[in-house]
Copies of this chain bind each other. A is one copy, B any other.
Amino acid sequence: MTTAEAPAAREIPYVSAVNEAIRQLMEADPDVFIAGEDVAGYGGVFGVSRGLLGEFGERRVVDTPISESAIVGLGVGAAAAGLRPIIDIMFMDFMGVCMDEVVNQMAKMRYMFGGKARLPLTLHTMAGGGMNMAAQHSQCLEAWFCHIPGLKVVMPSGAYEAKGLMVAAVRDDNPVIVVNNKLSLGMKAHVPEELYEIPLGKANIVRPGTNFTIVATGRMVHESVRAAEMLTADGLDVEVIDPRTLQPFDTETCVESVRKTHRALVAHEAVRFGGIGAEFAAQIQEEAFDYLDAPVGRVGAPFAPVPFSPALEKHYIPTADTIAAEVRRLLGKQG
């Protein structure tokens, strides 16, 4: 649904797309293995690695102790020694317990060694709220990693992207963090059966438009498309762009769009303050300053931890309504 390509559509859910990508990557390359908590016997608590143990055995589908630093280290050491690990960190919130391994070892080893290490490592994790899992199981922390030279970060918006970006991540010779979204796991889309790759660093224009640009990440791409539809009533023809890769960010595609539409907003599920939207907005206003008719807006979560209660969480996570409202607010600010 978010992709241009969709012929003889085989529609499968997001989670199956990720699973299929991993399976096919493992079939194609004996150096690919997956390790993480409950990825083998249980198939992953989100089902991402379902069936892999049966096909590839314990040597390549590895259940680990609850020891995230060691899990990431396992990937770093194995990658430095020439394998191509997929490391699963169950919830993105748990990156805190292995942060050093990710940002000081995995991200920097190549540079610190003067280019003499190669780290073809994919770190897969699940982000996002909406499941009433509260402050420690719902976060979107991608901004942390986008700030760290040496890492790449992708955030698929749908099943098509989930497979294609996973393939690109695993084939890349650098550490790539793949941030999937829990609420998206059931979303279906056309996903080709073959191993295809979505190039890292290339944004996708999900919905072309002429007089407003929304740059949205992950699940917010769909909310933004919905917002765009709502905004047609306001006479707006909104372009929605999915950067797909957050690091490196495809500045050109976004800036080009804004030069055309003259107005822009960035939407993500993460906390707004200090989110990756700040970087995107800063870049857009810098590169398209003369073309802007209004400030670049930002939609993100408010400045609070993710609350447990559904009554609060529903106000916490941005939706199409929030996005549409912000678009309208920005138009009011128009200079």
Q: Which residues of A contact B (CB under 8 A)?
A: 69, 93-97, 99-104, 107-108, 111-112, 134-136, 141, 143-144, 146-150, 247, 249, 270-271, 273-279, 281-282, 285-287, 289-290, 292, 294-298, 303-305, 307-308, 333, 335
Contacts and interface: CB of A to CB of B under 8 A. Distances in A.
A311 to B, nearest CB: 13
Contacts of A289: 292, 294-295, 333, 335
Nearest to A93: B104
Contact of A274 (B108, B135, B147, B296): B147
Contact of A147 (B102, B275, B304, B308): B275
Contacts of A96: 99-104
A276 B279 contact: no
A303 B135 contact: no
Q: How many copies does the complex hold?
A: 2
Contacts of A273: 146-147, 149, 247, 249, 279
A108 B307 CA distance: 10
Contacts of A333: 289
Given A135-B112, A285-B285, A149 B296 contact: no
Contact of A305 (B108, B141, B287): B108
A152 B305 CA distance: 14
A279 B274 contact: yes
A296 B141 CA distance: 25
A287 B93 CA distance: 32
Nearest to A146: B274
19 contacts: A96-B99, A97-B99, A97-B100, A104-B136, A108-B305, A111-B135, A111-B305, A111-B307, A112-B134, A112-B305, A143-B274, A147-B270, A149-B271, A247-B274, A278-B278, A278-B279, A282-B285, A285-B296, A287-B295
A150 B304 CA distance: 7
A282 to B, nearest CB: 4
Given A143-B147, A144-B144, A286-B296, 12 more contacts: A97-B100, A108-B135, A112-B135, A147-B274, A149-B273, A150-B305, A274-B278, A281-B285, A285-B285, A285-B296, A286-B298, A290-B335
Contacts of A282: 277-278, 281-282, 285, 296, 298
Contacts of A143: 143, 147, 274
A150 B302 CA distance: 12
A70 B47 CA distance: 33
B294 A149 contact: no
A304 B111 contact: yes
Contacts of A99: 95-97, 99-100
A298 B279 CA distance: 10
Given A111-B135, A335-B290, A147 B149 contact: no
